[in-house]
Each structure stands twice: as structure tokens, then as C-alpha cells.
Amino acid sequence: MSIIWFVGSVFSPYYHWAGYRTPEDHVAVNVCLYSPGASRWTMTERGKGALRRDSTTLQIAKSQLSWQGDALVLDLDEVSVPLPRRVRGRITLHPGVLNSRAFAIDGVGAHRWMPIAPSARIEVAMTDPGLNWTGHGYFDTNAGDEPVARSFRSWDWSRTLLGQDTAILYDSVLKTGERVEIATLFKSDGTTEDFAAPPRQALPGTFWRVKRQVQAESPPALVETLEDTPFYARSIIRTELLGQHGLGMHETLDVGRLDTGLVRCMLPFRMPRRA
């Protein structure tokens, strides 16, 4: 399961066509639910009238997330596309430790990423579809001062569980052709340790021929591709880092593919706008 809250969506064709003005007028909740017979995908974009936020709460239309004590509580009320079905339920995230360290994924700070809870426990209680489970979770935030197409060609990101610790790698290719590498181990005691990123290893290409790779100490294994689009892929992998094998989440974004007229015109079929 993946949930992303957007204020000024990086993928929004409407935000692009509006000249990237007024991010609050381009908000959405993206829910990706992966379950046999109960998969759902939502990303309805809404206007600024649907947005409410303060220091503890972010609400978009009928969905909201809020800090309640030490837990982050997400109450979802969305409709999936292309087949309209309700997506409703509550997810409660209990962080193991909180991280306050931010990273400049472009090397200069115009694009920033911060893994707020590199490791967490989650409780999922969905009513539509009816699914319940507990498991391992993760929570981060991204912010940018300019569109990604002005700074990047592509990036690969991975997060791997290594025992009680979490290793996260960012491998960004800038518009200039330069690379920015981030490789950090987030330990269960709340400390962090940067390490030298291992060599890049190729992963199998996707249906849409998006090239993906991951930094690993031995050839990785592709377990499952969860999202396969013309410009983006999300996958589960098995990989080796710091002498340990672990299960990881991997994402690839091809910014050049995203920044084309054809892809922009395809996106509204998966991202309807209800301003």
C-alpha cells in the first residue's frame, strides 16, 4: 500500500498547464492498494477550496491526515479510477523514531527530501474494500521550489530493511548530466550513518521500457513490479547492502518521459480533476 498527499502535484498535467502557479489549487490524494481482488488506485485532483491545513492536520476533500499524540492517523475517503469504487478506511502509523535531517536531492537544496519516519509500525483498517492488517511502514516528505523537469533527467530511489535498521539510497541524474548520490543508514536508535553507495546494478526493464537500476553489492532480484507507467515504476526487490540481504522498495522516475506532451495528455485518464 502506498499513499501520497500532494499540494502542487509533481505529476499533475493541470498544474503544468497552469504554469506551476498556485500549488494549493492542485491537490490530490494518491492511494495505491495492492491486494488480489481488492486493488484500488485513486488520484483525483481538486482545487484550493478542498484544502484545509494547520500545524497538525492536512485535509483534502473528505480525506485527512493528522498527528494524534505520537501517531499519524490517515482517514481516507476517495473514489478509484478508472473503475469508480469507494476507497475508505483508517491507517495509523506509529513511528519507531523521528528523523529531522533533510537532504538536498539536487545537491543545492531547491529539491528537498526528508524521511520523517524511516521505520514505523502501521495498522490498516479499510472498510472499502474490507481489508485489515498490521505491518511495517515508512513516512517521508518532499518539497521543491521549481518543477522537477528543470532540475532532473531521472532518479532511482530505494529503501531496504536491514534487520532493525533501514538503508535508503537516492541516485539522481541532474539536467546537466551530473549525479547526486545519497546513501544513508537510519538506525533503530535514531542515529544516521552515511555510507559509500555501491555500484549501480541493472533491474529488468518495464513494459513501457523505463530503465531502472539500483545501487547494490550484488545483483538484485526483482520480486514484483507494482506500478508500470510510461515514466515511472515502483517495484519490490531483494538486494544486498552493507553485507546484509534485505527486502526493499524501489522507484524509478524518468523525468524526460514525464515532460512530454503525449504523456501529459494521457495522465487525465488516471488523474481526473474535480476543481
Q: Is the pLDDT of residue 62 over 90?
A: yes
Inter-residue contact 228 to 252 (CB < 8 Å): no
Radius of gyration of the chain from its Cα atoms, rounded to whole angstroms: 18
From residue 7, alpha-carbon distances to 28, 58, 102, 165 in Å are 7, 10, 19, 30
Phi-psi region of 3 (alpha: psi -120 to 50; beta: other; left: phi over 0): beta
* Residue 139 β-bridge partners: 117
Inter-residue contact 206 to 191 (CB < 8 Å): no
What's the mean pLDDT in 67-87? 97
User: 7-40, pLDDT tens digit by residue?
Assistant: 999 999 999 999 999 999 999 999 999 999 999 9
Inter-residue contact 270 to 41 (CB < 8 Å): yes
Burial class (CB in 10 A: 0-12, 13-18, 19+), 29: buried
Q: CA-to-CA distance for 95 and 107, rounded, in angstroms?
A: 28
Q: Which residues contact 250 (CB under 8 A, 6 or more apart)?
A: 156, 157, 158, 203, 212, 214, 234, 235, 236, 237
User: 123-181, pLDDT tens digit by residue?
Assistant: 999 999 999 999 999 999 999 999 999 999 999 999 999 999 999 999 999 999 999 99
The pLDDT score that the predictor gives to residue 28 is 98
Inter-residue contact 94 to 115 (CB < 8 Å): no
User: 193-237, pLDDT tens digit by residue?
Assistant: 999 999 999 999 999 999 999 999 999 999 999 999 999 999 999
Q: CA-to-CA distance for 4 and 27, rounded, in angstroms?
A: 11
Q: Is the pLDDT of residue 275 over 90?
A: no
The pLDDT score that the predictor gives to residue 260 is 96
Q: Is the pLDDT of residue 96 over 90?
A: yes
Q: What percent of the chain has pLDDT over 70?
A: 100
What's the mean pLDDT in 241-248? 97
- Which DSSP state fits 209? -
- Average model confidence (pLDDT) across the chain: 97
- The total number of structural domains in the chain stands at 1
Q: Regarding beta strands 103-104 and 131-144, do their DSSP bridges make them parallel or antiparallel, or are they unpaired?
A: unpaired
Structural domain boundaries enclosing 215: 2-274
* pTM for the model: 0.95
Q: Looking at this protein, which amino acid is placed at residue 247?
A: L
23 half-sphere exposure, CB direction, 13 A CA radius: 12
Which cell numbers hold the place of 71? 501517531
Q: CA-to-CA distance for 247 and 222, rounded, in angstroms?
A: 10
Q: CA-to-CA distance for 244 and 148, rounded, in angstroms?
A: 33
